[in-house]
Chains A and B, each alone.
Chain A
Amino acid sequence: MTATALLTPTEDHAGHRLDFLLVTDMVEPGSRVLDVGCGDGSLLALLRDRRGVDGRGIELSREGVNTCLAKGLPVIQGDADTDLSDYPDDAFDYVILSQTIQATRQPKVVLENLLRIGRRAIVSFPNFGHWSVRLDLFLRGRMPVTRNMPYSWYDTPNIHFCTIRDFVELCGEVGAEMEKAVALDAGGSPVRVTLPWWAWNLLGQQGVFLLKRR
């Protein structure tokens, strides 16, 4: 799940990705966390250092796993689509799926598994409803390829794009309650909460959701 970075998310002065900091804020200190598609373990390390969490990871690439092991992070080589079913119910306080859901074969099944394994799920994903994406389709009639979305339609690992509205609907279908929903604009700052959903869907470059089983 490494080749999924759609965005080049903005960083704070310490080099931490803003979306990771947002996720970190959503996690209660000292909780048990599973990061699905944890890459090089940056988020897990941040969660460990800032929130004292007992973290685990799943990562598809061997290189990513080795990097994580060297950081002292217990990460197993695996796949969100096939390996989540092996985890018992309620094994974690939070299961995080960061910038990965659009690259899974069965996003709905994956989401259901997140909510089964964790008491809460945190999902972040690139918003295909962002105005720049719409503009590409509307004016150029082409699948969007930008600095942040570098893949052509035929070689992208991102096989299940969705918009913020689409994701909200999926949450309803799988019985997930949204405890928090944040849309980050191109600069990585949250879109004003007072704005309506359609504005989030237009202005948010990515959505970050804290979900709970209903």
Chain B
Amino acid sequence: MSSISLPPEPRSQVDDPSSLVARFGADEPLMMDAGIPLGPWQIAYQTYGRLNADKTNAVLICHALTGDQHVANVSPVTGKPGWWTTMVGPGKPVDTDRFFVICANVIGGCMGTTGPASTDPATGRPYALDFPVVTIRDMVRAQAALIDRLGIETLFCVVGGSMGGMQVLQWAASYPDRVFSALPIATAARHSAQNIAFHEVGRQAVMADPDWRGGRYLVEGTRPAKGLAVARMGAHITYLSEMALHRKFGRNYQDRNAPTFSFDADFQIESYLRYQGVSFVERFDANSYLYVTRAMDYFDLAAEHGGSLAKAFKGSATRFCVISFTSDWLFPTSDSRAIVHALNAAAASVGFVEVESDKGHDAFLLDEPEMFAAAKGFIDAAARVRGIA
């Protein structure tokens, strides 16, 4: 790991983000699943397009583990385009010319919504591990409070991939009357043992970094950059596929023609992963990584409903479209089929398509014309029924 150097301290987006922010006072606490009321608290969000007079054209985008609210604008942190400009924008499946699109940073995040890096008003210092453990339902509850604040009764569509897809499912289960249509992509109704295992490895990497300091690194002026980078490197492998790795890197050497008989990054894949690790550290808070991965681990929608996923959707009038990818082994098609089966058992309206792709889990963020076709067809048809086409 000798090549990982400490990057410069990023501009803090934590308490005062470059976003819209909805603030809730101590009198409007967020009731967390951990049994702790969180307040005061805030949620940072971006919007695109215009809300119509009837307030029937609002689309909520839910971001994945390390995403943020900057879905379709240049990130103020990295200077790169939004993370889902292929899906969200003028003329895109989530068409910002027609819909009012909202995307909020999740609770527990580090981009302006209250999380472990936020200042605890009780102490004046970052919460760190004093922050209550977060669940997917907490994230959705916080989003619902924002939607209330915006005066929107029913969302036309809730869209998200991976952890974002978990939020979509949670929205549909928690607020069936407020979700006209739902588009969960590359996701699952519960996190698998294998996925919990990968997350645990990542968290242990962070916590094993001496600079983590029991989570109090912000106060102590250190950063567990190496641990977080290793966590990201490991996780990044799970987002790809063997085929994609082979196609992109093979066994190619990095800037050399032969192995150096050292532990330098001889292979392109090593160099690539190190870069992924280092650049991630520049934009993400280590404790947030612990909290948000934990939220995914705890997600089991059926468990909330006596072990029956179908019960979670019973009587739902929401129109669902589920999308998976053939080479996604992190959230395999079988996970999506389990959702579809439950929706069928609940007599819900559901479409499902498995997109052929060799790009692994990451496919949902990439240029996948089949996914766009399915999403656009589904959203446009729903818009016609909703009367906002």
Residues of A within 8 A of B (CB): 32, 54, 56, 62, 65-78, 86-88, 91
Would you mind naming 18 contact pairs between A and B with Cβ atoms under 8 Å apart? A56-B349, A62-B355, A62-B370, A65-B353, A66-B353, A66-B373, A69-B353, A69-B378, A70-B377, A71-B377, A72-B384, A72-B385, A74-B320, A74-B350, A76-B352, A77-B352, A77-B353, A91-B347
In chain B, residues 337-376, which have Cβ atoms closer than 8 Å to a Cβ of chain A? 340-341, 344-345, 347, 349-356, 370, 373-374, 376
Q: Which of A32, A54, A76, A87 contacts B351 (CB 8 A)?
A: A76
| B contact set with A: CB distance below 8 Å | 319-322, 340-341, 344-345, 347, 349-356, 370, 373-374, 376-378, 380-382, 384-385
List chain B residues, Cβ under 8 A from A87.
344-345
Question: In the bound complex, what is the Cα–Cα distance between A70 and B379 (angstroms)?
Answer: 8
CB distance from B389 to the nearest CB of A (A): 10
Q: Report the minimum CB–CB distance from B175 to chain A (whole Å).
A: 20
When the two chains form the complex, which single residue of B344, B356, B377 contacts A86, counting CB atoms closer than 8 Å? Answer: B344
Residues on the A chain within 8 Å of B322, using CB: 76
* Contact pick for B381, options A69, A76, A77, A78, CB 8 Å: A69
Chain A contacts of B385 at CB under 8 A?
72
The answer to whether B374 touches A69, judged by C-beta atoms less than 8 angstroms apart, is yes
Rounded to whole angstroms, the CA-CA distance of A191 and B188 in the bound complex is 51
Residues in B neighbouring A75, C-beta threshold 8 A: 351-352
B92 CB to nearest chain A CB (Å): 16
Would A62 and B354 count as touching, CB distance under 8 A? yes
List B contacts of A67 (CB < 8 A): 377
How far does the alpha carbon of A71 sit from the alpha carbon of B319 in the complex, in Å?
Answer: 13
Minimum CB distance partner of B382 in chain A: A72
- Minimum CB–CB distance from B293 to chain A (whole Å) comes to 30
Report the bound CA distance from A66 to B372 in whole Å: 10
Q: Which residue of B lies closest to A57 (CB)?
A: B351
Contact among A56, A68, A78, A88 with B345 in the assembled complex (CB-CB below 8 Å): A88
B344 cross-chain contacts in A, Cβ below 8 A:
56, 76, 86-88, 91
Q: Are A68 and B380 in contact (CB under 8 A)?
A: no
User: With A and B bound together, what is the CA distance between A56 and B320 in angstroms?
Assistant: 12
Q: Are A71 and B351 in contact (CB under 8 A)?
A: no
Whether B351 pairs with A65 at a CB distance below 8 angstroms is yes
Q: Which residue of B lies closest to A117 (CB)?
A: B344
CA distance A86 to B345 in the complex (A): 8
In the docked arrangement, what's the CA distance between A179 and B103, Å? 54
B381 touching A62, Cβ below 8 Å: no
Question: Cβ of A70 and Cβ of B380 under 8 Å apart?
Answer: yes
CB distance from A159 to the nearest CB of B (A): 24
Residue among B345, B353, B354, B378 with the highest chain A CB neighbour number at 10 A: B353
Q: Are B370 and A66 touching (Cβ within 8 A)?
A: yes
Residues in B neighbouring A66, C-beta threshold 8 A: 353, 370, 373-374, 377
Which one, A54, A62, A88, contacts B353 given CB within 8 A? Answer: A62
**What residues of B have a CB within 8 angstroms of the CB of A71 in the complex?**
377, 381
Are B384 and A69 closer than 8 Å at their CB atoms? no
For B347, what are the chain A residues with a Cβ–Cβ distance below 8 Å? 32, 91
- Check A69 against B341 for contact (C-beta < 8 Å): no
Shortest beta-carbon contacts, A-B, top 9: A70-B377, A72-B381, A76-B352, A69-B377, A74-B349, A86-B341, A69-B378, A65-B353, A74-B351
- Asked if A70 and B353 sit within 8 Å, CB to CB, the answer is no
